[in-house]
Amino acid sequence: MIPEKFHDIFEKGSLGHIGTLMPNGSIQITPVLVVKDGDTLKISTTRSRQKCKNLTANPTVTVEIVDAENRFHYVEVRGKATVTDDTNNVFVDSLAQRFMGKDHYDSDPPGEKRVVITIVPDRVRGQ
């Protein structure tokens, strides 16, 4: 569903922005690292973060990623999100290995629970 002309954006580890809906209907936007996994997108966060709370209540989501090397090359993905536990921190550790050169992600406060946000695209556009 995500056209090949945008795949390079994900390979570079470009920073994205996720937009979710707050309970009062306003929009909350947060910078995130986005990974393309087949036809879905994946984002790591913690259960206590506002974006996780928002998506648990309303799975409607938009993610926009701008190419780190060319600000005029971007992709916007709109869709529905699911939130699942990141059992044993497998996903966040894979991000730490790929983008930070570390075996394990160790920056969460004690007791924080990691989750994976998986986004199934409904609409993809960009330049």
**C-alpha to C-alpha distance for 86 and 118, rounded to whole angstroms:** 11
**C-alpha to C-alpha distance for 111 and 64, rounded to whole angstroms:** 30
**C-alpha to C-alpha distance for 94 and 31, rounded to whole angstroms:** 19
Sheet containing 114-126, strands listed edge to edge, beginning at the edge strand earlier in sequence: 27-33, 15-21, 60-66, 74-85, 114-126, 40-46, 35-37
Q: Which CATH code fits 4-126?
A: 2.30.110.10
pTM exceeding the 0.95 threshold for the entire prediction: no
69-124 pLDDT, tens per residue?
999 999 999 999 999 999 999 999 999 998 888 999 988 889 899 999 999 999 99
